[in-house]
Protein backbone atom coordinates (compact mmCIF):
# COMPACT_ATOMS: atom_id res chain seq x y z
CA UNK A 1 0.00 0.00 0.00
CA UNK A 2 1.40 3.35 -0.96
CA UNK A 3 0.46 5.65 1.90
CA UNK A 4 -2.21 6.37 4.49
CA UNK A 5 -3.64 9.80 5.31
CA UNK A 6 -6.59 9.97 7.68
CA UNK A 7 -9.32 7.79 6.21
CA UNK A 8 -8.03 8.22 2.66
CA UNK A 9 -5.94 5.22 1.67
CA UNK A 10 -4.02 5.17 -1.60
CA UNK A 11 -2.49 2.18 -3.32
CA UNK A 12 -0.19 2.41 -6.32
CA UNK A 13 -0.28 -1.38 -6.80
CA UNK A 14 -3.81 -1.67 -8.24
CA UNK A 15 -5.23 -0.88 -11.65
CA UNK A 16 -8.68 -1.17 -13.21
CA UNK A 17 -10.50 -1.08 -9.88
CA UNK A 18 -14.17 -0.09 -10.31
CA UNK A 19 -15.68 2.64 -8.19
CA UNK A 20 -17.73 1.20 -5.33
CA UNK A 21 -15.66 -2.01 -5.10
CA UNK A 22 -15.51 -3.21 -1.48
CA UNK A 23 -12.32 -4.48 0.18
CA UNK A 24 -11.25 -5.55 3.65
CA UNK A 25 -7.72 -5.32 5.01
CA UNK A 26 -5.91 -7.70 7.35
CA UNK A 27 -7.35 -5.91 10.42
CA UNK A 28 -10.95 -6.20 9.23
CA UNK A 29 -11.34 -2.57 8.13
CA UNK A 30 -13.86 -2.15 5.32
CA UNK A 31 -12.76 0.11 2.47
CA UNK A 32 -14.74 1.19 -0.59
CA UNK A 33 -13.18 2.57 -3.76
CA UNK A 34 -13.97 6.27 -3.96
CA UNK A 35 -12.13 7.14 -7.17
CA UNK A 36 -9.27 5.99 -9.37
CA UNK A 37 -6.68 7.86 -11.43
CA UNK A 38 -4.51 5.56 -13.51
CA UNK A 39 -3.00 3.04 -11.11
CA UNK A 40 -3.77 5.15 -8.02
CA UNK A 41 -6.83 4.07 -6.04
CA UNK A 42 -8.44 6.25 -3.34
CA UNK A 43 -10.63 4.58 -0.72
CA UNK A 44 -13.18 5.59 1.89
CA UNK A 45 -12.76 3.61 5.09
CA UNK A 46 -16.28 2.95 6.36
CA UNK A 47 -15.59 0.71 9.36
CA UNK A 48 -12.42 1.11 11.37
CA UNK A 49 -11.23 -1.49 13.89
CA UNK A 50 -7.55 -0.59 14.02
CA UNK A 51 -5.20 1.74 12.20
CA UNK A 52 -4.42 0.80 8.61
CA UNK A 53 -0.69 0.20 8.21
CA UNK A 54 1.51 0.48 5.16
CA UNK A 55 1.80 -2.90 3.53
CA UNK A 56 -1.71 -4.02 4.50
CA UNK A 57 -3.19 -6.70 2.31
CA UNK A 58 -6.55 -5.94 0.71
CA UNK A 59 -9.06 -8.69 -0.05
CA UNK A 60 -11.85 -8.08 -2.53
CA UNK A 61 -15.32 -8.82 -1.15
CA UNK A 62 -18.94 -8.51 -2.21
CA UNK A 63 -21.33 -5.57 -1.74
CA UNK A 64 -21.48 -3.76 1.58
CA UNK A 65 -24.96 -4.01 3.17
CA UNK A 66 -26.45 -1.84 5.92
CA UNK A 67 -29.59 -2.99 7.73
CA UNK A 68 -31.13 -0.40 10.06
CA UNK A 69 -34.26 -0.16 12.20
CA UNK A 70 -35.26 3.20 13.58
CA UNK A 71 -38.17 5.11 14.98
CA UNK A 72 -39.33 8.70 15.35
CA UNK A 73 -42.27 10.55 16.81
CA UNK A 74 -44.51 9.77 13.83
CA UNK A 75 -43.08 6.78 11.95
CA UNK A 76 -40.88 3.70 12.38
CA UNK A 77 -39.07 1.98 9.51
CA UNK A 78 -36.61 -0.80 8.78
CA UNK A 79 -34.28 -0.31 5.82
CA UNK A 80 -31.73 -2.23 3.76
CA UNK A 81 -29.11 -0.59 1.51
CA UNK A 82 -26.14 -1.94 -0.45
CA UNK A 83 -23.14 -0.50 -2.28
CA UNK A 84 -23.13 -0.30 -6.07
CA UNK A 85 -20.66 1.22 -8.59
CA UNK A 86 -22.44 4.60 -8.17
CA UNK A 87 -20.93 4.85 -4.64
CA UNK A 88 -21.54 6.85 -2.41
CA UNK A 89 -25.12 6.40 -3.67
CA UNK A 90 -26.82 3.14 -2.70
CA UNK A 91 -30.28 1.76 -3.43
CA UNK A 92 -32.44 1.53 -0.31
CA UNK A 93 -35.67 -0.34 0.46
CA UNK A 94 -37.80 0.56 3.49
CA UNK A 95 -40.89 -0.82 5.19
CA UNK A 96 -42.69 0.13 8.38
CA UNK A 97 -45.48 2.13 9.93
CA UNK A 98 -46.58 5.72 10.24
CA UNK A 99 -48.71 6.66 13.22
CA UNK A 100 -50.03 9.71 15.07
CA UNK A 101 -52.89 12.18 14.92
CA UNK A 102 -52.08 13.47 11.44
CA UNK A 103 -51.66 10.12 9.71
CA UNK A 104 -53.47 7.52 11.78
CA UNK A 105 -51.79 4.13 11.53
CA UNK A 106 -50.69 3.09 8.07
CA UNK A 107 -48.21 0.58 6.63
CA UNK A 108 -45.48 1.97 4.34
CA UNK A 109 -43.37 0.36 1.61
CA UNK A 110 -40.75 2.62 -0.02
CA UNK A 111 -37.75 2.36 -2.34
CA UNK A 112 -35.19 4.97 -3.29
CA UNK A 113 -31.54 6.01 -2.86
CA UNK A 114 -29.22 6.72 0.06
CA UNK A 115 -25.94 8.61 0.13
CA UNK A 116 -23.38 8.09 2.93
CA UNK A 117 -20.33 10.38 2.93
CA UNK A 118 -17.61 9.65 5.53
CA UNK A 119 -16.84 12.67 7.72
CA UNK A 120 -13.12 12.04 7.23
CA UNK A 121 -13.48 13.39 3.69
CA UNK A 122 -14.20 16.77 5.29
CA UNK A 123 -11.99 16.63 8.40
CA UNK A 124 -8.87 14.60 9.05
CA UNK A 125 -8.98 13.60 12.71
CA UNK A 126 -8.01 10.83 15.08
CA UNK A 127 -11.34 11.31 16.93
CA UNK A 128 -13.46 8.17 16.63
CA UNK A 129 -16.61 10.28 16.20
CA UNK A 130 -15.18 11.64 12.94
CA UNK A 131 -13.11 8.66 11.87
CA UNK A 132 -16.08 6.26 12.01
CA UNK A 133 -18.87 8.73 11.28
CA UNK A 134 -20.81 9.48 8.10
CA UNK A 135 -23.36 12.02 6.95
CA UNK A 136 -26.34 10.22 5.45
CA UNK A 137 -29.19 11.37 3.30
CA UNK A 138 -31.95 9.39 1.67
CA UNK A 139 -35.01 9.82 -0.45
CA UNK A 140 -37.62 7.23 -1.31
CA UNK A 141 -41.07 6.95 -2.84
CA UNK A 142 -43.67 4.26 -2.42
CA UNK A 143 -47.12 3.64 -1.03
CA UNK A 144 -48.92 4.03 2.26
CA UNK A 145 -51.48 1.30 2.84
CA UNK A 146 -54.27 2.21 5.23
CA UNK A 147 -57.99 2.44 4.50
CA UNK A 148 -56.85 3.03 0.92
CA UNK A 149 -53.53 2.92 -0.93
CA UNK A 150 -51.88 6.35 -1.08
CA UNK A 151 -48.71 7.75 -2.67
CA UNK A 152 -45.90 8.34 -0.14
CA UNK A 153 -42.56 10.13 -0.30
CA UNK A 154 -39.82 10.15 2.34
CA UNK A 155 -36.65 12.21 2.87
CA UNK A 156 -34.10 12.08 5.67
CA UNK A 157 -30.77 13.56 6.73
CA UNK A 158 -28.71 12.17 9.58
CA UNK A 159 -25.43 11.08 11.12
CA UNK A 160 -24.32 7.44 11.28
CA UNK A 161 -21.50 6.09 13.42
CA UNK A 162 -19.94 2.62 13.28
CA UNK A 163 -18.53 0.60 16.16
CA UNK A 164 -17.28 -2.43 14.25
CA UNK A 165 -20.23 -3.83 12.35
CA UNK A 166 -22.75 -2.22 14.73
CA UNK A 167 -24.03 1.24 13.76
CA UNK A 168 -26.25 3.86 15.32
CA UNK A 169 -27.91 6.74 13.53
CA UNK A 170 -29.71 9.97 14.45
CA UNK A 171 -31.30 12.61 12.29
CA UNK A 172 -34.54 14.06 11.04
CA UNK A 173 -36.97 12.89 8.38
CA UNK A 174 -39.92 14.20 6.44
CA UNK A 175 -42.76 11.98 5.28
CA UNK A 176 -45.50 13.05 2.90
CA UNK A 177 -48.50 10.82 2.14
CA UNK A 178 -50.69 12.08 -0.72
CA UNK A 179 -51.53 15.79 -0.50
CA UNK A 180 -53.00 15.99 2.96
CA UNK A 181 -50.39 14.41 5.28
CA UNK A 182 -46.95 15.93 5.80
CA UNK A 183 -44.93 15.00 8.90
CA UNK A 184 -41.43 15.97 10.04
CA UNK A 185 -39.88 14.03 12.91
CA UNK A 186 -36.50 13.48 14.57
CA UNK A 187 -35.44 9.83 14.65
CA UNK A 188 -32.89 7.48 16.17
CA UNK A 189 -31.98 3.95 15.16
CA UNK A 190 -29.57 1.05 15.29
CA UNK A 191 -28.33 -1.40 12.71
CA UNK A 192 -25.60 -3.66 11.40
CA UNK A 193 -23.22 -3.36 8.46
CA UNK A 194 -21.91 -6.48 6.77
Higher pLDDT, 100 or 7: 100
Give residue 145's pLDDT. Answer: 87
- Confidence band for 109, pLDDT divided at 50, 70 and 90: very high
User: Is the CB of residue 138 less than 8 Å from the CB of residue 66?
Assistant: no
Specify the pairing of strand 30-37 against strand 22-25: antiparallel
Give residue 103's pLDDT. Answer: 61
- Average pLDDT of the segment spanning 6-31: 82
- pTM across the whole model: 0.87
Higher pLDDT, 13 or 135: 135
- Confidence band for 7, pLDDT divided at 50, 70 and 90: low
How many beta carbons lie within 10 A of that of residue 176, not counting itself?
18
From residue 155, alpha-carbon distances to 33, 129, 185 in Å are: 26, 24, 11
pLDDT > 70? residue 6 = no
Nearest to 45 by CA among 29, 59, 61, 58: 29
**CATH 2.40.160.20, applies to 65-193:** yes
Give residue 124's pLDDT. Answer: 66
pLDDT > 70? residue 1 = no
C-alpha triplet 113, 115, 119: angle, nearest 5°:
170
pLDDT > 80? residue 117 = yes
- Average pLDDT of the segment spanning 35-39: 80
Rounded to whole angstroms, the Cα distance separating 10 from 4 reads 6
Q: Where are the domains of the chain?
A: 3-61, 65-193
Averaging pLDDT over each range in 45-54, 123-132, 178-187, which range is the top one? Answer: 178-187
β-sheet bridge partners, residue 175: 154, 183
pLDDT in tens, 82-92: 999 999 999 99
- Average pLDDT of the segment spanning 26-42: 84
Amino acid sequence: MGYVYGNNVSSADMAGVPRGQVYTDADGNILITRKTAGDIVMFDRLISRTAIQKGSELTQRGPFFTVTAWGGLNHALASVSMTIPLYPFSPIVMAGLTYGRETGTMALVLAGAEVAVPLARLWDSSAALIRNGKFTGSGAIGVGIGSSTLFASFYSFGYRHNIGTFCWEAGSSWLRVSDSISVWTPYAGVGVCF
